[in-house]
Amino acid sequence: MKALFASVAALGLLASPALAAPTASTKTVTTKSGNTKATTTVSTKGSTTTAKTTMTKAKAKSHHKARHHAKMAKKSSVAAQAKAEGESTATEAKEHKMAAAHHAKSSAKTAKPATKTKA
């Protein structure tokens, strides 16, 4: 009877997860805030836990820089023309705006109408 209890107890100890062979476990979590992305990987093997975090920042979109420089160039040309004509930059900017609207209207008039196609 004592031998039976001893063998059952030994079997219970061998079957317990604490004494079983350690298994590795890995979990990865990705978080994003604005244009920054962080990836955290946590690995557990036995009683050892390691964590690694990698941060990446998204590259700025290239067209933004081009638009910004074009806008700045446009402003400086308006300022230069205003200075040459002896006007304020606000007046010169208003003239440019009116000219752009005028040219947009004339190009809309000359556009060819769409033709109908038979189905």
- Give 94 or 13, the one with higher predicted confidence: 94
Q: Please give the distance of CA 118 from its chain centroid, rounded to a whole number.
A: 45
Asked if the model's pLDDT at residue 42 lies above 60, the reply is: yes
Considering its fold, how many domains does the chain have in total?
2
- Tell me: do 47 and 70 sit in the same domain: no
Residue 38 and residue 73 in one domain? no
Pick the residue with more confidence: 77 or 2? 77
**118 in a structural domain:** no
The per-residue pLDDT for range 6-24, each reduced to its tens digit, is: 554 554 544 445 545 567 8
76 and 88 assigned to the same domain: yes
Structure tokens at 3: 């031998």
d(CA 100, CA 106): 10
Task: Supply the range of the domain harboring residue 95.
Answer: 62-110
| Predicted confidence (pLDDT) per residue in 51-83, tens digit | 898 888 877 666 677 888 877 776 667 788 888
| H/E run at residue 70 | helix 62-85
Residues 52 and 72 in one domain: no
Asked if the model's pLDDT at residue 109 lies above 60, the reply is: yes
CB-count burial class (<10 Å; 0-12, 13-18, 19+) for 50:
exposed
